[in-house]
Amino acid sequence: MNLSDDLRRFARRLAGHGPSAEEERLVELFRNRAELKKELSALDEERQRLLDRLKLQEGATMRVEEQLAALEQYLGRPEEGLKCLAHYQLRAVWRAASRRLEQFAGELARRQKDSERKQQLAAFERAKRERLADVERELTEARVLADQLQAEQRLAEQQLASLAGFWNHFRRRRLREAIAARRFRIDAAVTQVTDLADRWREVDAEPPPLFEGLGIDGRRAVNLAVIACAESLHERVVAAGLIEPVRQSTLRRVYESSYAGREECLALMQRAGRLLSELEHVPDDLADVKARTDRLRATAAYRSDGETVPELSSLESASSVLLEEYWDVYKALLR
């Protein structure tokens, strides 16, 4: 394009002519070019994000490969085989206790939800029955009034029909005025009966409210019971003499674990096997869990009215369970 082309286009527009087909085509090309540049820029940014993610994944893969290589080297030494078996069996005890605590928390939360929902529905039905009774009482009174007014109207109309002769002129006029006034009252009473009947049907058809989840008190009750269960599990592992080895199995990698020797490894594996069987088959002592929950509730304190997890300092008996996060207890607590 040059100056003469621009002048020609300007002259055409002054003359009232629209842009030519060639000009429209050029405008469309420029518009498409701008859109393509935007798309290309977005694709470049997406490519860079994917490259960054690829680098992160490559780093993670390299670390896993290094860990596998170290583990293979560790397991390649025959004297370390029993240590490895003992380590993973101890870790299995932790996972079993954690899984059991999670299942306990899930079942308890489900029961608490069912209980609160039933209470909510019962309260709704009570309030609904009371409201229906109030509307029905008003409806009965309105119907009685309407029936009474209609009966009075019929009687007045009969009296009006029986009054003949010019000497009853003033009595007839008074009756006609009373009948007309009563007709307005009858219409209002009938309308009230209709409105109240509609209101009764509306109240009767109201659906129950949606359940918005456990309340603060319900979540607190579940959490205290979960902490009590974690405390009970902790004592089971303590009684088996495995609390420290089980804890260390979650803090150290397998080739960082150290046991005295073959005899200690065999003894640990034997005790861990018995404990695993107990955790998988022996049910919770619910009476014990309840007693612990009641004791925790007596001292439990919360930072604010909306908190559902008690302050650690208020639960002296369970402080070690919470402080060390035994059995991943915080994952099982409701927020």
Q: pLDDT tens, 67-76?
A: 777 666 666 6
- Segment among 53-57, 207-211, 229-233 with least mean pLDDT: 53-57
Q: Which two tokens stand for residue 207?
A: 């659906």
Given a contact cutoff of 8 angstroms between Cβ atoms, the answer to whether 288 and 296 are in contact is: no
Look-up of token digits 């319900």: 218
- Segment among 78-82, 138-142, 326-330 with least mean pLDDT: 78-82
Which pLDDT value is given to residue 22?
67
Classified as helix, coil or strand, 301 is coil
| Mean pLDDT in residue range 49-69 | 82
Instruction: Indicate the burial class of 267 (C-beta count within 10 angstroms; 0-12, 13-18, 19 or more).
Output: middle
Given a contact cutoff of 8 angstroms between Cβ atoms, the answer to whether 274 and 240 are in contact is: yes
> In this model, does residue 1 exceed pLDDT 80?
no
Instruction: Indicate the burial class of 87 (C-beta count within 10 angstroms; 0-12, 13-18, 19 or more).
Output: buried
Which pLDDT value is given to residue 320?
86
Given a contact cutoff of 8 angstroms between Cβ atoms, the answer to whether 202 and 232 are in contact is: no
Which pLDDT value is given to residue 51?
86
Average pLDDT, the chain: 86
Which pLDDT value is given to residue 197?
93
State the Rg of the chain over Cα: 42
Angle between helices 286-299 and 216-239 (to 10 degrees): 120
Domain boundaries of the chain, sorted by first residue = 20-74, 81-120+214-332, 137-205
CA distances to 32, 102, 119 from 89, in Å: 65, 20, 45
Given a contact cutoff of 8 angstroms between Cβ atoms, the answer to whether 329 and 101 are in contact is: yes
Give the CA dihedral 130, 136, 142, 147, nearest 10 degrees.
Answer: -160
